[in-house]
Amino acid sequence: MMLNKLSISITHLQKAVYQLHLAEHLLEVTYPLIKDPKMLLSVLSNLEQSHENLLESVLPSNLIKADTSFMSKLNSFEDLLQSQIVLSEGEIKTIKTVHDLVDQHKESAVVFSRKDSFIICEDDYKMQKIDPLLVGEQIHNTKKLTTKIFGLVEK
Protein backbone atom coordinates (compact mmCIF):
# COMPACT_ATOMS: atom_id res chain seq x y z
CA MET A 1 0.00 0.00 0.00
CA MET A 2 1.67 3.20 -1.17
CA LEU A 3 0.31 6.69 -0.69
CA ASN A 4 1.59 9.88 -2.23
CA LYS A 5 0.14 12.09 0.50
CA LEU A 6 0.31 10.89 4.07
CA SER A 7 -2.26 12.18 6.53
CA ILE A 8 -0.72 12.54 9.99
CA SER A 9 -2.75 13.03 13.15
CA ILE A 10 -1.11 15.86 15.10
CA THR A 11 -3.06 14.91 18.24
CA HIS A 12 -1.65 11.38 18.28
CA LEU A 13 1.80 12.68 17.44
CA GLN A 14 1.65 15.10 20.39
CA LYS A 15 0.54 12.27 22.68
CA ALA A 16 3.46 10.17 21.41
CA VAL A 17 5.91 12.96 22.20
CA TYR A 18 4.40 13.45 25.67
CA GLN A 19 4.73 9.73 26.51
CA LEU A 20 8.27 9.72 25.11
CA HIS A 21 9.26 12.68 27.31
CA LEU A 22 7.65 10.98 30.29
CA ALA A 23 9.60 7.77 29.63
CA GLU A 24 12.84 9.73 29.27
CA HIS A 25 12.19 11.65 32.50
CA LEU A 26 11.49 8.42 34.39
CA LEU A 27 14.75 6.90 33.13
CA GLU A 28 17.02 9.92 33.53
CA VAL A 29 15.60 11.63 36.64
CA THR A 30 13.35 9.32 38.66
CA TYR A 31 15.19 6.02 38.18
CA PRO A 32 18.58 7.31 39.47
CA LEU A 33 16.86 8.70 42.59
CA ILE A 34 14.81 5.62 43.40
CA LYS A 35 17.27 3.01 42.07
CA ASP A 36 14.49 0.42 41.78
CA PRO A 37 14.75 -1.71 38.61
CA LYS A 38 10.94 -2.08 38.59
CA MET A 39 10.89 1.55 37.46
CA LEU A 40 12.30 0.33 34.13
CA LEU A 41 8.97 -1.39 33.48
CA SER A 42 7.18 1.94 33.88
CA VAL A 43 9.60 3.45 31.39
CA LEU A 44 8.87 0.65 28.91
CA SER A 45 5.14 1.00 29.46
CA ASN A 46 5.28 4.72 28.64
CA LEU A 47 7.46 3.99 25.65
CA GLU A 48 4.94 1.41 24.40
CA GLN A 49 2.15 4.00 24.73
CA SER A 50 4.31 6.43 22.77
CA HIS A 51 4.75 3.81 20.04
CA GLU A 52 1.01 3.13 19.91
CA ASN A 53 0.37 6.84 19.43
CA LEU A 54 3.06 7.03 16.74
CA LEU A 55 1.35 4.19 14.88
CA GLU A 56 -2.03 5.87 15.26
CA SER A 57 -0.63 9.21 14.06
CA VAL A 58 0.15 7.68 10.67
CA LEU A 59 -2.42 4.91 10.19
CA PRO A 60 -5.82 5.70 8.66
CA SER A 61 -8.62 5.81 11.25
CA ASN A 62 -10.42 2.78 9.78
CA LEU A 63 -7.31 0.66 10.37
CA ILE A 64 -6.92 1.95 13.94
CA LYS A 65 -10.52 1.08 14.80
CA ALA A 66 -10.37 -2.33 13.09
CA ASP A 67 -9.69 -5.34 15.26
CA THR A 68 -6.20 -5.91 13.86
CA SER A 69 -3.15 -7.31 15.56
CA PHE A 70 -0.22 -5.21 16.70
CA MET A 71 2.03 -6.76 14.03
CA SER A 72 -0.53 -5.99 11.33
CA LYS A 73 -0.63 -2.34 12.42
CA LEU A 74 3.17 -2.20 12.58
CA ASN A 75 3.50 -3.65 9.07
CA SER A 76 0.97 -1.13 7.73
CA PHE A 77 2.83 1.68 9.53
CA GLU A 78 6.11 0.58 7.96
CA ASP A 79 4.54 0.29 4.48
CA LEU A 80 2.98 3.75 4.68
CA LEU A 81 6.19 5.43 5.81
CA GLN A 82 8.58 3.68 3.40
CA SER A 83 7.57 5.93 0.52
CA GLN A 84 8.01 9.05 2.68
CA ILE A 85 11.10 8.55 4.87
CA VAL A 86 14.00 6.16 5.31
CA LEU A 87 13.30 3.89 8.27
CA SER A 88 16.27 2.25 9.92
CA GLU A 89 16.08 -1.37 11.05
CA GLY A 90 16.69 -0.18 14.63
CA GLU A 91 13.66 2.11 14.66
CA ILE A 92 11.20 -0.62 13.67
CA LYS A 93 12.99 -3.18 15.84
CA THR A 94 12.60 -0.83 18.82
CA ILE A 95 8.82 -0.82 18.47
CA LYS A 96 8.76 -4.63 18.28
CA THR A 97 11.21 -5.04 21.19
CA VAL A 98 9.33 -2.74 23.57
CA HIS A 99 6.01 -4.36 22.70
CA ASP A 100 7.47 -7.85 23.22
CA LEU A 101 9.08 -6.93 26.56
CA VAL A 102 5.85 -5.47 27.94
CA ASP A 103 3.93 -8.55 26.76
CA GLN A 104 6.53 -10.92 28.24
CA HIS A 105 6.25 -9.15 31.58
CA LYS A 106 2.45 -9.42 31.57
CA GLU A 107 2.60 -13.15 30.80
CA SER A 108 5.61 -14.12 32.92
CA ALA A 109 5.27 -16.22 36.04
CA VAL A 110 8.51 -15.07 37.64
CA VAL A 111 10.15 -11.64 37.66
CA PHE A 112 12.89 -10.33 39.91
CA SER A 113 15.46 -7.57 40.32
CA ARG A 114 19.18 -8.19 40.13
CA LYS A 115 21.60 -5.30 40.74
CA ASP A 116 20.34 -2.51 38.45
CA SER A 117 18.43 -4.86 36.12
CA PHE A 118 14.98 -6.35 35.99
CA ILE A 119 14.74 -10.00 34.92
CA ILE A 120 11.72 -11.60 33.27
CA CYS A 121 11.58 -15.41 33.32
CA GLU A 122 9.44 -17.15 30.75
CA ASP A 123 7.79 -20.54 31.19
CA ASP A 124 10.59 -22.24 29.27
CA TYR A 125 13.15 -20.70 31.69
CA LYS A 126 14.38 -18.28 29.06
CA MET A 127 15.33 -15.01 30.76
CA GLN A 128 15.07 -11.48 29.46
CA LYS A 129 17.20 -8.80 31.11
CA ILE A 130 15.97 -5.20 31.17
CA ASP A 131 18.58 -2.65 32.19
CA PRO A 132 18.95 1.14 31.89
CA LEU A 133 21.24 0.78 28.86
CA LEU A 134 18.68 -1.27 26.91
CA VAL A 135 15.85 1.09 27.81
CA GLY A 136 17.95 4.15 26.95
CA GLU A 137 18.70 2.70 23.53
CA GLN A 138 14.97 2.16 22.93
CA ILE A 139 14.26 5.78 23.89
CA HIS A 140 17.01 7.01 21.55
CA ASN A 141 15.60 5.06 18.58
CA THR A 142 12.08 6.26 19.35
CA LYS A 143 13.30 9.88 19.37
CA LYS A 144 14.87 9.42 15.93
CA LEU A 145 11.67 7.96 14.52
CA THR A 146 9.50 10.66 16.10
CA THR A 147 11.75 13.37 14.65
CA LYS A 148 11.42 11.84 11.18
CA ILE A 149 7.62 11.77 11.45
CA PHE A 150 7.57 15.38 12.65
CA GLY A 151 9.63 16.20 9.57
CA LEU A 152 6.77 14.92 7.43
CA VAL A 153 4.34 17.29 9.15
CA GLU A 154 6.57 20.26 8.33
CA LYS A 155 6.78 19.39 4.60
pLDDT at 2: 37
Task: Please write down the long-range contacts of 75-82, taking CB distance under 8 Å and 24 or more positions apart.
Answer: 76/1, 79/1, 79/2, 80/1, 80/3, 80/6, 81/6, 81/149, 82/2
pLDDT digits (tens, 9 = 90+) for 91-105: 999 999 999 999 999
Q: Facing residues of 127 across strands?
A: 121
The per-residue pLDDT of the chain, averaged, comes to 90
Structural domains of the chain ordered from first start: 10-154 (1.20.120)
Residue 122, φ and ψ in degrees, nearest 5 = -90, 170
